Chains A and B, each alone.
Chain A
Amino acid sequence: MIKILPRQDIKFVLGFKGEEVLENSSGMMNVVEFKNVGLRYGNGPEVLEDITFSLAPGSFYFLTGESGAGKSSLINLMSLSLCPTKGNLKVFGTDVISKNRKKFPEIRRNIGVVFQEFRLLDHLSARENVALPLRVLGIKEVEIKRHVRELLNWVGLSDHIDAKPPTLAGGQKQRVAIARALINRPKLLLADEPTGNVDDKMAMRQLRLFVELNKIGTTVVIATHNEKLIERLGYPRLHLADRHLHLLPAARPIMTGREPI
């Protein structure tokens, strides 16, 4: 049974330029900081209300909640696709407000997002889709070619490098989307149902990749309904219910990701 815990204690300190920043217990700047954040679309009702939490560097969370609970909205806020309509949100120490949009590209380059609907460009091959973040960074074509091939091999798509998304199955598209999110080794990885279209074996394989990334310091948030995987990996979860966020502890001791499937 899941026990709902009180919201995480947050210590406020003054950051540079007098800005109020959230600091975690290790003294490092938090990757994401929500303070009383609310979100509504247009004049509709609030879909998220009074959300307060922070993500320390190197943390790993599952994001759970029923369909329509606001998981994708929360991920969109963290990926700077949306600005909160209320409260204060900071990502890598920068306020997510439209006034700061010039700073967003730099922040986004440190965030990898796996979208629920993949958002692959249909006229580009798997290789070209995965290469996009590196092209934006201006990396040399030789480097891009090497990295993209390695990663596509790893996600098991070495035979589909030149295939275009419309010719790929759902699970293959998902793997291309994951490869694109990971290609520039993000500091924050946000994945919206990344295992929704693959079997348990492939899901575990993909999650292992996320675990490996987490071990080298990437903060990971995975929105999922897959209770089996959550229990297996045992990381704490951020649970959305009634427009509010609740922090739930790890279900069991955390797996290294190397256990047999």
Chain B
Amino acid sequence: MSKKYKPRKLPFAYDTSSLFLPWIMMLMVFLATLSLAGALAVQNMTAKWSSSMTGSLTVQVLPPKEFAGADMTERAKSATMVEVNKAADFLKDVDGVKQVKIVPLADLQELLKPWLGEAIMDEGFPLPRLIDVTVDDGDNVDLNKLKEELVKVAPNASLDVHRVWLAKLMNLTTTLNLTALGILGLVLLTTSFAVIYATVTSLAVHRPAIELLHLIGARDGYIASLFAQRTMTFSFGGAIIGAVISVPIVIVTAFLAKSLEVGMIADGWLGGWDWFYVLVVPFIAALVSGITAYVTVAFKLRRTL
């Protein structure tokens, strides 16, 4: 009895030239997944910091100079508060300022307690007072002019513009982001070159079969699609293994970042869509390798009869 017939659609025999493709693809998808996850995390953190800080300014009001270095007496406290109120009233009238909020002393003490200890809770501890200022759009407020006018109203007040340090931080994160995307690009490029090399070698190995297919009326597109199908199958196997290794690493890193409880890092880790992008990497890699194989074969066959 003849065995059950299974149509074999690929007229190309197994050849060792394509053997390294799954291995290359595994490594490339592993690197690509980590690079992409890194790039997305940095991008998220940058976006979060940027949106939460570009619209805010902080005004610091020091105790008047005659009380400097001494414990905060009631007189010093009320003199400081006079300047705080003057500064706050002035800021409320500035165009573009949306909200002005004097940070309560208790909040300040709570903020500094982890670094300065219980001593901070002492009523006499000399602390500057802070005013949180929210502006509509930082670019519409002339900060230099605002600084000058603020000092006229409250001589011991100073304006802390987050944008300066934020800009430096953003430069760093943008560089990190571009580096991660650059690695991703290099990984894609290397993958494409590996696929081109494997395809060209495979074309040489299967030349008799290709000639035969041409002679029985196969178009270049048909032969190219057979190669693409074969390459995609090889690549997808390797890509899935690469993803299976790299995704748990991303998950563990995400978990560790969250457990840090440092807002700047934990808040900016991967969101729902980001996980989708990370998980789609092996499919994209297999698709890119298939398309590369198709284009390579179609290009090479142009010169044959």
Partners in one complex: yes
Main secondary structure of the interface of A (DSSP, over half): helix
- Give which listed residue, B8, B208, B305, contacts A98 with CB less than 8 A: B305
A113/B13 in contact, CB under 8 A = no
In-complex Cβ contact of B213 among A83, A132, A161 (8 A): A132
For the complex, would chain B's binding face be called helix, strand, loop or mixed by DSSP majority?
loop
Closest to A135 in B: B9
B11-A104 in contact (CB<8A) = no
On whether A162 and B3 interact (CB within 8 A), knowing A121-B209, A132-B213, A136-B213, the answer reads yes
Q: Which chain A residue lies CB-closest to B9?
A: A135
The residue of chain B having its C-beta at the shortest distance from the C-beta of A180 within the complex is B216
The stretch that binds B, out of A26-34, A74-82, A198-206, is A74-82
Surface stretch bound by A, among B137-145, B175-183, B217-225: B217-225
Complex interface residues of chain A between 77 and 105 (CB less than 8 A to chain B): 79-83, 98, 101, 104-105
Asked if A83 meets B305 with Cβ closer than 8 Å, knowing A108-B215, A119-B212, the reply is: yes
Residues in B neighbouring A124, C-beta threshold 8 A: 8, 11
**A14-B5 Cα distance, complex, nearest whole Å:** 51
Cβ of B275 within 8 Å of any chain A Cβ, yes or no, is: no
Contact B7 A131 (CB under 8 A): yes
Interface residues in A110-149 by Cβ distance below 8 A to B read 113, 119, 121-124, 127-128, 131-133, 135-137, 141, 144-145
Q: Which residues of chain A come closer than 8 Å to B217, judged between CB atoms?
A: 105-106, 108-109, 133, 136-137
CA distance A109 to B222 in the complex (A): 14
Q: Mark B188-208, 1 if CB is under 8 A from A, else 0.
A: 000000000000000000001
Is the Cβ of B216 less than 8 Å from the Cβ of A136? yes
- Count the A-B residue pairs with Cβ separation under 8 angstroms: how many? 63
Evaluate contact between B5 and A145: CB separation under 8 angstroms. Answer: yes
Report the bound CA distance from A20 to B218 in whole Å: 28
Q: How far is the CB of B88 from chain A (nearest CB, A)?
A: 79
**Which chain B residue has the least Cβ–Cβ distance from A79?**
B215
In this complex, what residue of B is CB-closest to A159? B2
**Within residues 1 to 56 of chain B, which ones have a CB less than 8 A from any CB in chain A?**
2-3, 5, 7-9, 11, 13-14
Q: Residue of A at shortest CB range from B305?
A: A101
Partner of B305, one of A104, A113, A141: A104
* Chain B residues in the interface with A (C-beta under 8 A): 2-3, 5, 7-9, 11, 13-14, 208-209, 211-219, 222, 305
20 contacts between A and B (CB under 8 A): A79-B215, A80-B215, A81-B211, A81-B215, A83-B305, A98-B305, A105-B218, A108-B217, A109-B217, A121-B209, A124-B11, A131-B7, A132-B11, A132-B212, A132-B216, A136-B216, A136-B217, A141-B7, A144-B7, A162-B2
